[in-house]
Amino acid sequence: MGELARAVGALTAPELADIVDLVAWPDRDGGVMVANSAGTARLRPDEPADVVDGVNPVADQNPMAFLPYERELADPSPPNVRNAYPYAAERLLSFFADTGRAPDLAIIHTPPHYYPEAGGHPGEHGSLDVVQSRAPLLLSGAGVKASGLVDGHVRLPDVGPTLAWLCGVEPDDQAGRLVDAAGAPLDGIVFGNLVERDAQWVVGVLWDGAHCGDLLHLAAEGALPAIARLLDRGCALRGGAIAEFPSVTLTNHTSILTGVGPGRHGVLGNVFYDRHARRSVNTNDATTWHRTAEWLRPGVATVFELVRGANPEALTACVNEPVDRGADYSTMQIIRNTGAADGATSLASALPDPAGSIHLHNRAHVADGYYAWATQVDDAGLDQVLSLWNRPADAPLLTWWSSSVTDAGHHAGGPRSEIARDSLRDADHRLGAFLDHLDRVGATDEVIVILTADHGFEGADPGCRGGWDGALRTAGVQFRDEGPGFIYLGESR
């Protein structure tokens, strides 16, 4: 028995079923295998699953599962037999396409798996299932065709090409897709059925980790007035935007802003192992965010580069976002210009006091270090956006604005917790300040706003503990575990 077979056998043992939802690995014939304790299947895009043994572990791939929101509330963090895994083949094959960085085997955590000893939190994401993969998608303002809540969904790599198209970038291939720097069609497609080119300015807003269902629920209740203002002039997709796998921050920020999946852009996760460089890469850290462009694969173009290629005179801005290459204004470029070896870490003293933030709904939350830091960073981000928009005549054609406090709140308490909902209120208050500014300068009717996130969230169960390293060692497997959940066979730390 080979090492891969031993690893799969150990990980799909019934004893690990509480923490291992699925394991996945590439098949030699170009497909991808998925397995758990109940069965094994071979997947290929646009083909029925080939069930090898037992039952198909990803039989339900409905991207609209657990809708309306009451269905999610009735069955939070469900087991595999009741869960859904949209675009399982496409997302997994993209992930495994980068053979220099992808693991031999990916372990997908069960939704309730709680692993604080390995960096886990009460609220988690990263898995293949629909709720962890569902980010919100709202469009508002000039050119938006639909109104209110719309039954439908897109995929996160569709967002970047749509932003670029709205800024004047034309499709280049026969299928009507935008192309990358090497001339290859992007994975993402323009959602032109929802919007047309009527806006003078384009604003993209990312609320990291914002829970799609709860965001729309709170807006309907009146708890998020700025989101309600966007909906009054546009629409939101109930199914949101489906993240790439893994449903983590840097993978999906990069997928959004390049329009391609991780197997093409190269940012395989927040943490991954580069076999050629023979080192672990941590992309999601204050010391490394400003270096994200170093990990982009050749031929990959950012939205900012696409816009510049179509219109060299157009100004673009990228606020608090690591995937910034090509932007005329960039927070990360300011950090790079300092030359500080520790990146943003040394700039912490220049950030505003989090406890004094006028956007903070509950000052007790700053006792959480991540929440306090995110409050500082997001306040500084709003200041940058308002400065960029001091006069509409000088405003960028494309402004991208990323916020972090929603991720902090959802990690700290899980979706629907007090701190998670307050984080949405905080982000909404900052968004409201920007919308008020657009009103004051008379630009509202000429702006389109697209708001999304990089992933969803599910609540972990403190009683669902444990790991898989012991089972792999008992099976005689030599491995390196990054993530945790990326298993590189034949490697060791």
Nearest to 366 by CA among 422, 417, 321: 422
- What average pLDDT does range 342-362 have in this prediction? 87
Which of the four pLDDT bands, split at 50, 70 and 90, describes residue 342? confident
| Rounded percentage of the chain residues whose pLDDT exceeds 70 | 99
Number of H helices, E strands in the chain: 15, 22
State whether 331 and 355 are in the same domain: yes
Which pairs with CB-CB distance under 8 Å and at least 24 residues apart come from 324-332? 324/292, 324/293, 325/292, 325/293, 325/296, 326/301, 326/302, 327/302, 327/400, 328/304, 328/396, 329/388, 329/396, 331/381, 331/384, 332/289, 332/290, 332/292
State whether 49 and 154 are in the same domain: no
Least confident of 69-78, 107-116, 152-161, 348-357: 348-357
State whether 327 and 445 are in the same domain: yes
Sign of the C-alpha dihedral computed for residues 264, 269, 270 and 275 taken in this order: negative
> What does the pLDDT look like over 144-158, one tens digit per residue?
998 999 999 999 999
State whether 448 and 482 are in the same domain: no
- What average pLDDT does range 212-233 have in this prediction? 98
In sequence order, the β-bridge partners of residue 106 are 24, 486
State whether 241 and 257 are in the same domain: yes
Rounded distance, CA 404 to CA 98, Å? 28
Range of the domain at 201: 131-459
Residue 1 has pLDDT above 70, yes or no: no
Task: Give pLDDT, residue 172.
Answer: 84
Contact 185, 273 (CB under 8 A): no
State whether 233 and 355 are in the same domain: yes
State whether 347 and 250 are in the same domain: yes
> What does the pLDDT look like over 230-246, one tens digit per residue?
999 999 999 999 999 99
State whether 156 and 105 are in the same domain: no
Rounded distance, CA 215 to CA 292, Å? 29
Enter the DSSP assignment of 179.
B
Q: Read off the tokens for 297.
A: 């694969």
Q: What DSSP string describes 4-53?
A: HHHHHHHHTSGGGTTTEEEEEEE-TTS-EEEEETTEEEEE-TTS--EEEE
Rounded distance, CA 60 to CA 83, Å? 7
Give 336: exposed, middle or buried? Use CB within 10 Å, 0-12, 13-18, 19+. middle
Residue 493 has pLDDT above 90, yes or no: no
State whether 22 and 67 are in the same domain: yes
> What does the pLDDT look like over 80-125, one tens digit per residue?
999 999 999 999 999 999 999 999 999 999 999 999 999 999 999 9
Task: Give pLDDT, residue 340.
Answer: 82
- What average pLDDT does range 362-372 have in this prediction? 97
Where is pLDDT greater, at 183 or 325?
Answer: 325
- What average pLDDT does range 259-273 have in this prediction? 97
Where is pLDDT greater, at 182 or 464?
Answer: 464
Q: Read off the tokens for 136.
A: 């919100």
Task: Give pLDDT, residue 65.
Answer: 98
Which of the four pLDDT bands, split at 50, 70 and 90, describes residue 348? confident
Q: What is the mean pLDDT of the chain?
A: 96
Helices (H), 75-221: 88-96, 130-133, 159-166, 212-221
Residue 345 has pLDDT above 90, yes or no: no
Task: Give pLDDT, residue 175.
Answer: 74
Residue 217 has pLDDT above 90, yes or no: yes
> What does the pLDDT look like over 290-300, one tens digit per residue?
999 999 999 99
- What average pLDDT does range 442-460 have in this prediction? 98
> What does the pLDDT look like over 28-71, one tens digit per residue?
889 999 999 999 999 999 999 999 999 999 999 999 999 999 99
Contact 143, 197 (CB under 8 A): yes
What CATH number is associated with residue 197? 3.40.720.10
- What average pLDDT does range 281-306 have in this prediction? 94
Residue 326 has pLDDT above 90, yes or no: yes
Residue 346 has pLDDT above 80, yes or no: no
Task: Give pLDDT, residue 147.
Answer: 92
- What average pLDDT does range 384-396 have in this prediction? 97
Task: Give pLDDT, residue 176.
Answer: 78
Token look-up 């939101």 returns 236
- What average pLDDT does range 403-412 have in this prediction? 98
State whether 256 and 306 are in the same domain: yes
For the chain, the domain total comes to 2
Contact 475, 231 (CB under 8 A): no
Rounded distance, CA 391 to CA 441, Å? 7
State whether 243 and 341 are in the same domain: yes
- What average pLDDT does range 4-20 have in this prediction? 98
Token look-up 């895994």 returns 85
Radius of gyration of the chain (CA): 22
State whether 231 and 274 are in the same domain: yes
Nearest to 53 by CA among 69, 70, 36, 68: 36
Coil/strand/helix, residue 225 = helix
Beta strands (DSSP E) in 44-133 are 50-54, 105-109, 123-124
